[in-house]
């Protein structure tokens, strides 16, 4: 008797949803607490706390509805055989326009085009509500409807330009890969990741945001001096117009070898009280570079990718797997999708470990900034960012919550507690 892959996958998806909903409910109850946690009393104003509480509750209510819709749709798509039905319809669509449905590349691209349309339609109401109701209600949304749809159209066009060559290459590699298939797939994705990391900040990101050089002044001098003291090969220092879309703030680095760049959101500069706090945030980011966190993470991702492709090669010809989900053929893309669903339990375990490592890296980067003498400034900056971003103040103490998605807001709060204890 064949193993019931589809039933097992749907069952585990529902189990994970129930477990994560339980964790979300615990966090929801923590958000509803009417008082600040002791370490933040006298540090965060009552007004900011109440605003943060209202914002977090709105996002929590929205999250419950969104996740319920997602699990219902995903379970129905798998259980009622909508995927194989849609695959067949995409083949008929090709034939209608005089194209060869037996060509797997064409068939796959037609299937993905339909999936993209479906995802855009089903996700659009949630995106609009999140942006123009929740974010706008709490003063974060700065973009217009026109800008929202312009970004969406740009994203679709980019997918249509970048996606087909990548999909076609993967299909050809699987068809021609032979016994070294896993190695070839990993090598392709490795090169692709390097290319995308190079091209994204240079060609793609500027399509959505304006990058300008940080003006000459005290802030620029301080950042350059910090980078120089750490032998960080800073080539360019940008400010991004994040305020055109949101009041939330951020900062990041990118670039290979001797060609590094630092990007500051204009909202980060606006929200920090002084230049020292901005430099402290940069010191934290440079800590990730100095401690090789980015390199370690990249290596781990490459190892996991290789093992994933290795696992895929073991089941890609399994008729039982495809038939369990209602397919009478074995398309490459469908095989990858089904394999990803069958290893969901393992993915959650891996994500748990990666979350632990990520959190440890953040604490190490904080300690690095403190060692450089930016402890007080970083603490003050975290407090300010916590306030301005209306980040969640009360978080659920349940250790199991680390299995769930670790939100940056609660993560910042834990770091804040650390500073108040040791700085």
Binding residues for Zn(2+): 284, 288, 362
Chain centre to alpha carbon of residue 165: 23
- CA-based nearest residue to 412, from 399, 351, 390, 219: 390
Interhelix angle 104-129/82-96, nearest 10 degrees: 120
Catalytic status, residue 285: yes
CB 114 within 8 A of CB 86: yes
Instruction: Go through the chain and tell me how many residues it has.
Output: 423
**Cα separations (Å) of 289 from 237, 275, 361, 419?**
16, 21, 11, 21
Other Cβ atoms less than 10 A from the Cβ of 139: the count is: 11
**Cα separations (Å) of 15 from 10, 67, 238?**
9, 13, 45
Residue 316 CB-half CA count within 13 A:
18
Burial 10-19 (b: 16+ CB within 10 A, else e): beebeebbee
CB 301 within 8 A of CB 280: no
Enumerate the known binding-site residues.
284, 288, 362
Selected catalytic residue, list 285, 387, 388, 396: 285
Selected catalytic residue, list 366, 387, 388, 396: 366
Catalytic positions are: 285, 366
């Amino acid at each position: 008797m064949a193993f019931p892959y589809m039933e097992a996958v749907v069952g585990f998806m529902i189990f994970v949803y129930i477990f994560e909903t339980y964790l979300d409910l615990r966090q929801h109850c923590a958000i509803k607490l009417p008082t600040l946690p002791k370490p933040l009393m006298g540090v965060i104003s009552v007004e900011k706390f109440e605003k943060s509480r209202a914002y977090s509750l709105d996002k929590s209510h929205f999250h419950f509805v969104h996740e319920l819709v997602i699990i219902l749709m995903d379970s129905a798509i798998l259980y009622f055989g909508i995927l194989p039905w849609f695959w067949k319809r995409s083949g008929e669509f090709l034939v209608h326009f005089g194209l060869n449905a037996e060509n797997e590349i064409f068939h796959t691209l037609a299937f993905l085009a339909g999936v993209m349309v479906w995802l855009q339609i089903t996700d659009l109401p949630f995106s609009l509500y999140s942006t123009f109701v929740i974010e706008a209600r709490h003063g974060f949304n700065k973009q217009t409807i026109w800008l929202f749809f312009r970004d969406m159209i740009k994203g679709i066009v980019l997918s249509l330009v970048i996606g087909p060559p990548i999909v076609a290459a993967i299909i050809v590699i699987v068809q021609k890969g032979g016994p070294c298939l896993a190695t070839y797939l990993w090598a392709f994705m490795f090169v692709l990741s390097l290319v995308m990391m190079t091209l994204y900040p240079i060609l793609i990101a500027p399509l959505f945001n304006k990058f300008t050089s940080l003006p000459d002044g005290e802030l620029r001098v301080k950042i350059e001096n910090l980078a120089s003291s750490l032998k960080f090969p800073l080539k360019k220092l940008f400010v991004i117009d994040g305020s055109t879309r949101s009041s939330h703030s951020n900062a990041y680095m990118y670039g290979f070898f001797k060609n590094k760049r630092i990007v500051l959101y204009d909202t980060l500069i606006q929200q920090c009280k002084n230049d020292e706090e901005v430099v402290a945030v940069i010191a934290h980011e440079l800590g990730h570079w100095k401690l090789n966190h980015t390199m370690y993470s990249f290596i781990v991702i490459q190892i996991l990718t290789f093992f994933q492709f290795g696992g895929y090669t073991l089941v890609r010809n399994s008729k039982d797997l495809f038939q369990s989900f209602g397919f009478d053929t074995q398309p490459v893309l469908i095989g990858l999708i089904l394999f990803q669903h069958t290893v969901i339990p393992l993915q959650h375990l891996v994500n748990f470990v990666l979350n632990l490592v990520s959190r440890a890296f953040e604490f190490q980067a904080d300690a690095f900034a403190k060692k450089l003498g930016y402890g007080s400034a970083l603490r003050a900056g975290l407090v300010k960012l916590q306030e301005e971003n209306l980040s969640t103040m009360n978080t659920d103490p349940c250790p199991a919550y680390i299995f769930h998605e670790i939100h940056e807001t609660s993560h910042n709060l834990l770091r804040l507690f650390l500073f108040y204890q040791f700085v």
